[in-house]
Amino acid sequence: MLKYFVDTTEALISAGLLIGLLYFYLSSGFGKKGKVFALVGLLAGLAGAGTVAYLKNGTKLLTSSKWNEIVMILFFIAIGALLLFWIFSALRKPLKQVSQWAVCLLLCLIMIITLTYAVPDVLVYPYSILLVEKSVLSTTFIFKFIGIVFGVILGFLAGLSAGKGLIRLDSKQMMLMLSLALGVNGIRQLTMCLRIMLTKKIIQNHKLFGDFSLFKIAQFSSNHDNWFIFAMMIVTVIIPVLIWIKSKHVNEPYRTPAEKRKILKKWLVNKRWAGMVFACLLLSVVNLTELKAIANRKVELSPVEDAPVVDGNVEVSFEQVEDGHLHRFAYTTDNNVAIRFIVIKKPNSSSYGIGLDACDICGETGYYEKDGQVVCNLCDVVMNINTIGFKGGCNPIVIPYTIENGKILVPVDGLTEFEKEFK
């Protein structure tokens, strides 16, 4: 659950903040047409995200290569829209009607592109879990799905509170905050475009000065993508700070006690939204630092135990594996590749679960024992020990073996055919 909570938050928090700012900026600053454009941008973006998620995972129409090309085009459109937004915003007075419609359209377009890019991966998470779990009623699926839901709720609340805070600023402050947020997002999009173009060799790597090159920029942005998320949070946290400063200098005139109470109530609500922004951003920071470290903490696999190779078979004696715990063995090929396999005695049985220390879904990340259960090291799926040795799901890859004279004999030929799995 924790891993999916972290992954969902990481995927949505930046987009959620930007969408919240755009939605409330449009709906509060441009009257009815702004509300229409905001709603269209939100609904069209979600519809686009659902369509992309289906095409990428339910059909063969949208391959990874083709999606990268589409992403690059979308990003350039968004960057162009961003530049035009700043131009038309500067022209609002001399071209009032034209510029207002243009700003609404451009911000609506940025909303659609942002949602279409950020949301599809999250929509696919339940489908990816079902590839392993096979049932929505399994405990593991339910817990992981709850993690996804919590991540979505956090992204939604962060965007909602940021947008509600934005409209409590004056027009110049609103424009500044939105411009900063769009600027951070635009720089992130440019670096993504650069990575795609270098990978597809649309452009060549060029040195800018010294050892600093386009590749260095792409590499740095890829390795530090979370910096853009934190930059978006830093921009957003300015909003509640401005609200708090304004609340300390309230000097609104009133004629009756009722008007005074109304003013006090307004600023109480303002400070509550500011507090909500702080709370959401604080939880997001904890999520992307401490909780992420816990969720992605690597489990140390138990050491490989000794097992002799006799007459072309790896021999494992019953005495080595009689305790009912997971045991790990390996055969090292001529290419110095250690092909690992596991053996565990099944509960209340004299039979053994035997298979590679790898599966078709998660690769050779291995399995570990926790509280008497066998767990996949990558996806945290708990194995049914009684099904180890059978095909399906995240179970270990089946390997041939025989039992003779109190020993489990695993043929070397049956292991070496899986050498590529462990390279």
Q: Confidence class of residue 393 from pLDDT cuts 50, 70 and 90?
A: low
Least confident range from 33-37, 59-63, 278-282, 418-422: namely 59-63
**Three-state secondary-structure class, residue 94:** coil
Least confident of 125-129, 206-210, 325-329, 380-384: 206-210
Lowest-confidence pick of 151-160, 203-212, 249-258, 392-401: 203-212
pLDDT score of 77 more than 70: yes
- CB neighbours of 400 closer than 8 A, spacing ≥ 6? 410, 411, 414
Q: Which pLDDT band, with edges at 50, 70 and 90, does 233 fall under?
A: very high
CA quadruple 243, 19, 24, 31: dihedral, nearest 10? 150
Nearest to 177 by CA among 24, 21, 12, 19: 21
pLDDT score of 131: 65
Separation CA 156–CA 105 (nearest Å): 23
What is the CATH architecture of 309-422?
Answer: 3-layer Sandwich (2.102)
Q: How far apart are CA 271 and CA 265, in angstroms?
A: 10
Q: Is the distance from CB of 367 to CB of 375 less than 8 angstroms?
A: yes
Q: Across residues 308-321, what is the average pLDDT?
A: 88
d(CA 240, CA 245): 9
Contact 303, 328 (CB under 8 A): yes
Which candidate, 346, 356, 329, 350, places its Cα nearest to that of 406?
350
Cβ atoms of 316 and 329 within 8 Å: the answer is yes
Strand partners, 370: 373
How far apart are alpha carbons 350 and 201 in whole angstroms? 58
**Long-range CB pairs of 277-283, under 8 A, 24+ apart, other chains included:** 277/158, 277/161, 277/162, 277/165, 277/236, 277/237, 277/239, 277/240, 278/237, 278/240, 280/154, 280/157, 280/158, 280/161, 280/162, 281/158, 281/233, 281/236, 281/237, 283/154
pLDDT at residue 19, rounded to an integer = 95
Give phi and psi for 220, each to the nearest 5.
-65, -45
| 152 pLDDT tier (thresholds 50, 70, 90) | very high
Rounded Cα distance between 107 and 44, Å, is 13
Mean of pLDDT values over 375-404: 80
pLDDT of residue 125: 83
> What pLDDT score was predicted for residue 124?
84
**263 contact partners, CB below 8 Å, separation of at least 6:** 250, 252, 254
Indicate the pLDDT class of residue 134, thresholds 50, 70 and 90. Answer: low
**Mean pLDDT, the chain, whole residue set:** 84
What was the pLDDT predicted at 375? 82
Burial 151-180 (b: 16+ CB within 10 A, else e): bbebbebbbbbbbbbbebbeeebbbebbbb
Tell me the domain boundaries of the chain. Answer: 2-295, 309-422
- If one compares 49 and 60, the residue with the highest pLDDT of the two is 49
Q: What is the pLDDT of residues 100-129, one digit of tens each?
A: 788 888 889 989 989 998 898 888 888 777
**For residues 185 and 114, is the Cβ–Cβ distance under 8 A?**
yes
Quote the CA–CA distance of 127 and 257 in Å, as a whole number: 58
Q: Residue 24: what pLDDT? A: 93
How far is it, in rounded angstroms, from Cα 122 to Cα 63? 18
How far, in Å, CA of 21 to CA of 183, rounded?
13
Model confidence at 298: pLDDT above 90: no
What mean pLDDT do residues 372-382 have?
Answer: 77
Rounded-to-integer distance, Cα 356 and Cα 214, Å: 42
Kindly state the average pLDDT of the residues 297-303.
76
- The pLDDT assigned to 132 comes to 60
